A and B are shown apart, each in its own frame.
Chain A
Amino acid sequence: MAHMAPPDDELNWIRNSLAGDTEAFAALVKQYQKMVYALVFRMTGSLDDAEDLAQETFLRAYQQLDSFRGEAKFSTWLCQIAVNLSLNWHAREKRRGDVHSKWAGNSIVENEGNDEFPDELSRRVQDALDRLPAKQRAAIVLTVYENHSHAEAAKLLKCTEATVSWRVFAARQKLKRWLTGISHEQL
């Protein structure tokens, strides 16, 4: 989770970015890059794609900065862009040769080859997240990892609160099944 910048600093960075100061925008990137990177990694399960999507998130944010009204926190606004880009990425990948199903089948192999996970539990959890349908994964990422309420997540995902609750419920059922056997000693 990103450390909060003093609101005045953040406001100045946004104002200066709107005036075309890319270095001010770089300060915003520095502030929120870890949050965005973690979010898109959980959504994609891939380091390379996470890097691309994180970069795309910030580029899109810069492009749309004049539409940021300050009604929500800047981090929430960024979150929305990152999640929507990730969902689009999934849809794109699915269109390209139905990678979605291939992904679910091969994700374990892919992550087994990825030795950058800090521990076995982290790898198993990401494998389980990778197997979830993209929208259910987004609901879990927003509510569990980003601590948004179901109502906030519904706004970000542009669906009803009931839909988010159902997605979270369905995702939890699957995750519990897939993650059984993780003992408390591993926690």
Chain B
Amino acid sequence: MSAPDSAIRQTLANANLQLAIYSNTGRLKNHRSKAVAPDRFPEYQDLRTRAAAIKRHTLAFLDVYLLQLEHAVNDNGGKVIWASTGEEAADFIIQLAKDREANLIVKSKSMTTEEIHLNDRLAQHELETVETDLGEYILQLAGQRPFHILAPAIHMTRHDVAKVFNEKLGIEHDTVIENQAMTARRVLREKFLNAGIGITGANFLLADSGGVVIVENEGNARLTLSAPKIHVTVAGLEKLIPRARDLPVFLDLLGRSATGQPLTSYTSIVSGPRRNGELDGPEEFYVILLDAGRTKLLADPEMRESLQCIRCGACLNACPVYRKIGGHNYPWVYSGPIGKVITPQFQGVEKDPWLPFASSLCGACAEVCPVKIDIPSLLLKLRKEIVQANPEDRRYFRIWAWLMQRPGMYALAAKIGRALMGFNIGPLAAWRSERDLPAAPPKSFRDLWKQRKK
């Protein structure tokens, strides 16, 4: 499959959308750079190094930490469910919902559940799953996928939201943002109090204490994991860190990198059902540990680095490509620079071979990454894999090599090339549609060389 050119062209031609993407990512980008400036946050670079080291270590001994986590969750009265695929994860929840007769499920924002299309799978079994993060809720009503891993509805205006609420909720057309947020509060509060199951993702899993850490600003995750009788966390294997005491390093980086906040409004650390005497909180607690391709990444010592990602979204806001084409032109749920690195690995490099090439390798993503993932190097590695597997590219290089060894033929080919430079034909046409070639000088280097020798 080639790049979705026409969709990208549409995004580029949509002035409102361009403005929304550019200004919103710009604002997040500025908040971040102020928050990590050396005068405000002198520990920043040291913490990045430490965070990367902790993640590297955890991944290198992941088998041990997974078992530690399972042990701790059991001790707390919860249960770990191991899921090799998204289907297995969904099947567990479907069975649980049937057993407990829970038809209404509330969910807080989770990219991992987006990745496995959990809502669709649950809907096929007549289970109503309601997204409760304001942005996710709007997207669910509008039938769209997240545009940005952190700020999912970054591309929509108050007018878009008014239209969606009017059409889907039957309320009056209202473009006042405060009123829109309060509408969501009212509608979703009802859902929280009646839901049988709450599903959350996890920002971190603490191996030592079995804690699931969830970072948010709205309070919808707190409600999701406190109000229903059952709390299910769906988390990728890579979310582990060894100890609760490693948390400050990551929390100090995550909030600042994501929105510029030293600490988000709410950080929940939960594990297990309510303890003896506790008056609320869930009665059952499950942590679904999801593989779904992660062990494949783990097996490649270089690409493993991409599992360090803490999903802060800073690389999206820094990326000159993302800031033009937005999130929906990427082929999978993960967009931006980190999406370019992990999508080919999860989906197979052959599925969207253009993806790792859609980058100028400027390095802005690596510079802002709080866990020091060297995204440009990983993109280069993916490119190499793709080129080596692609017979067409190899043919071009073989022709080139053949010409280079035959000066007469090379001179002839160069002449033909010069003559063709004025025309838009063949593979040049696509390239030239977006770029200007400088006009060829009147005489070639070879001609000039010959003249001088005379």
Real complex partners, A and B? no
